[in-house]
Homo-oligomer: A and B are copies of this chain.
C-alpha cells in the first residue's frame, strides 16, 4: 500500500502524551502512514496568532487531506477565537461524527446495549461566532442556519446510516420555539428522510430528546442535530457509556478530514502520564478506515478491546471490582501493542 500523509498536531495539556501513545500503537500495528507535525494551539496563540494557527501551519493545512489532532488549550482571557471552530469552518468540515457504544462489562455503564452515533452539524449555529456588545449591559450572539448547511448534514447522516447498516435516524431540535431556524432544519430533515424509506426517521424536541437519550440510550441509533445540541448530546452519550475520555470523532469535509478525541486538553493532569489515550486512538481508528486501511484499523480496535477486557484501565475509568490494573498512558499503549 502507498503510505498516506497525515498532518499531526500534538496539541497541549495531555495532548502530546496521548498522541505519543496513539502513534506508537499505529506504528506497531503497521499502519501505512507518514506523519508531518504541525503546530497548533497554545504556543501559536502565545506567539501572537489570534487564531491559534501560525501562518506556516495554514499552508500545511491547505495541503493536507487527513489531519490527526490532539486537544489544544486556548489561553484564557484574551478574547482568543476557538481554534477548533476556526479549523472546522475554514476547512469546511461540515460533519462531526461521534460514535459511542457500550463496552460493558469491561467498562461500567448502566446501559450495556447502547450503540449511538451522533452526527453533529459542524459549521453553523451559535458556533458561527457572531457576537455583539449592544450596550454596556446587552450582548447578543447570532444563531445562523442555512438550507445548504442543513442539507449537507442531514444527507450525511442518512448516507452514514445506509452505509453502516443503521436502522433509524433521530433528529433533535427546538423548533417549537425557534420556528425559522430549527424549523428549517426540521423541514430539510423531513425532505431528505423521505428519500430513505428503508431507514426509520423521527424528530424529537431537544429537551425531552436529550432526557430520553440520557435515560434510555438503547432506544437511539443515529442522531442528527445542529452544532450546539450535538456538542451537548455527544458528551452525554460518551459519558454515560463510560467516559468522554473514550470517544473519538471524525470531522468530515468534502476535501479534507480531521480526526480528534472529543475531550479537552485537561491541563490539570498534563505531563503526569495518567491520561486515557482511548479517545484519540479511536479517532485514529476512524482515520485509518477513512483512508482505506480497514484491516489495520480492525487490528488496532481488537487489540484495544482486548486490553480493556483484560482490565488494564487508566485512572479515569479505573473501577474497583471491574478493573484489574491501573495503568499509565504509556503502559496502556504497551498493553495494546502486546495485544496486536
Contacts and interface: CB of A to CB of B under 8 A. Distances in A.
Nearest to A233: B210
Contacts of A231: 174, 206-207
B180 A206 contact: no
A143 interface: yes
Contacts of A215: 239-240
Contacts of A133: 180
A208 interface: yes
Given A207-B231, A231-B207, A232-B207, A141 B240 contact: no
Interface in A127-147: 127, 129, 131-133, 136-147
A335 interface: no
Contacts of A236: 210-211, 214, 236
A180 B132 contact: yes
* A interface bracket (residues with beta carbon within 8 Å of B): 35 or more
Given A177-B82, A235-B208, A239-B215, A139 B129 contact: no
Interface string A61-102: 000000000000010000100100100000000000000000
A210 B232 contact: yes
Contacts of A143: 126, 140-143
Contact of A138 (B146, B179, B240): B146
Contacts of A214: 214, 236, 239-240
Interface in A280-323: none
A51 interface: no
A137 B141 contact: no
Most chain B CB atoms below 10 A, which of A141, A146, A212: A141
A179 B232 contact: no
A265 to B, nearest CB: 12
A141 B178 contact: yes
A179 B212 contact: no
Given A208-B244, A239-B212, A144 B138 contact: yes
A215 B174 CA distance: 23
A179 B211 contact: no
A93 to B, nearest CB: 16
Contacts of A256: none
A39 interface: no
Contacts of A145: 138-141
Given A110-B110, A211-B240, A137 B131 contact: no
A314 to B, nearest CB: 17
A140 B226 CA distance: 13
A142 B139 contact: no
A319 to B, nearest CB: 13
Q: Which 10 A-B pairs have the closest CB atoms?
A: A211-B239, A211-B235, A214-B214, A137-B147, A131-B180, A207-B235, A141-B143, A139-B180, A215-B239, A141-B181
Given A126-B178, A141-B143, 5 more contacts: A79-B179, A140-B144, A207-B234, A210-B235, A211-B240
21 contacts: A82-B176, A85-B177, A137-B147, A139-B183, A139-B184, A140-B143, A140-B144, A140-B181, A141-B143, A141-B145, A141-B180, A141-B181, A142-B142, A174-B228, A207-B234, A208-B244, A211-B232, A211-B239, A211-B244, A214-B240, A232-B232
